[in-house]
Amino acid sequence: MSRKVLIVMDYDFEKESKRPLMMKIIREIFIWALEIAGVILLAYFIVNYTVEKTDMVGVSMEGTLFDGESIIINKFSYRFIDPKRFDVIVFKQSGKEHSYYNIKRIIGLPGETLQFKDGNIYINDTILEEPMNVEPMINYGLAVEPITLEENEYFVLGDNRNNSEDSRFASIGNIRREEIIGKAFIRLSPFNFIDKLNLRQEIIDEESKR
């Protein structure tokens, strides 16, 4: 006489049905984490390598920028090109009296020799014609004698020439390339490009004819 054996399989069908749902949740958490990491990396890149907001402190750039005005720094362009004469730059010097962002205009470029005399700025013994509206300097500071810039140095002045602490004085001195944060690009309010501010009328007329 044959016997039939009944085999009962203990299989959790409910657990199996939940597996696709769990995989979907894990996949969504993973994608969400990647998106958050991407946003953090993008924000870090923008703040450290492209643009940054800062405020003008003090009166040294009056005529162009005034105390408390907010500006946008272009930190990206100087990674590909060198600063140019008359660029308004933002820099930060370590080991100096001031550790905050400073804003001045480039007058002397690497390798040049500057001297201030007879009410003029001389670059390599040639009088510099400036496109901005600035008052004649009363105090020439260190530049009363010729100053020759090294290959990574820039000489900066404030546009408010008679009320500016800049490269004429030992407290600031020449600005090294690595101390430059970026170019002062945009004034936020009232909105304008900084290189369009405080230009002499004849320069404005010339640009309007182009």
Q: Express as a percent the part of the chain with pLDDT over 70.
A: 85
The pLDDT of residue 36 is: 84
Would the pLDDT of 16 be above 60? no
pLDDT digits 0-9 by tens, 63-89 = 999 999 999 999 999 999 999 999 999
Q: Is residue 105 part of a domain?
A: yes
- The mean pLDDT of 91-114, rounded to a whole number, is 88
Query: What's the domain count of the chain?
Result: 1
The pLDDT of residue 47 is: 62
pLDDT digits 0-9 by tens, 26-41 = 888 888 888 887 777 7
Residue predicted with more confidence, 162 or 96: 162
Q: Is residue 196 part of a domain?
A: yes
pLDDT band at 147 (very low <50, low <70, confident <90, very high): very high
Q: Among residues 60, 164, 167, 183, which one is catalytic? A: 60
Active site residue 60: yes
Would the pLDDT of 61 be above 90? yes
* Domain around 139: 52-209
Q: Is residue 91 part of a domain?
A: yes
The pLDDT of residue 42 is: 66
CATH number at residue 59: 2.10.109.10
Looking at residue 57, its amino acid is V
Q: Among residues 70, 96, 104, 167, which one is catalytic? A: 104
Q: Is residue 4 part of a domain?
A: no
pLDDT band at 11 (very low <50, low <70, confident <90, very high): low
